[in-house]
Amino acid sequence: MRLMVAVEVVFVLVFLAGVALVFVPAALIVGGLLGVLAIERASARRPSGGDVVDLRSRGRAA
C-alpha cells in the first residue's frame, strides 16, 4: 500500500514539473486542486468523530 502511494506521489510531482515547464501558473492551479483532492481522500478514509462510541458510559443513566 505504501509503495503505491509513493508511486502515485512521484507520478503527480513529475506531472506537475512537466506542466510547470510549459506554464507555471497552470502548475500552481493544478497543484492546488490535487492538494484538495488528496485531503478529501485522506479524510474519507478516516472515521468521523460521530462514529466513536464511549464504551465506559454504557449502562449508566445520563
Helix (H, G, I), strand (E, B) or coil at 47: coil
Residue 60: inside a domain, yes or no?
no
For residue 29, pLDDT beyond 90: yes
Specify the number of domains making up the chain. Answer: 1
Higher pLDDT, 31 or 50: 31
Residue 52: inside a domain, yes or no?
no
For residue 17, pLDDT beyond 90: yes
Among 38, 19, 40, 39, CA closest to 30: 19
Q: Taking residues 12-19, report their average pLDDT.
A: 94
Residue 9: inside a domain, yes or no?
yes
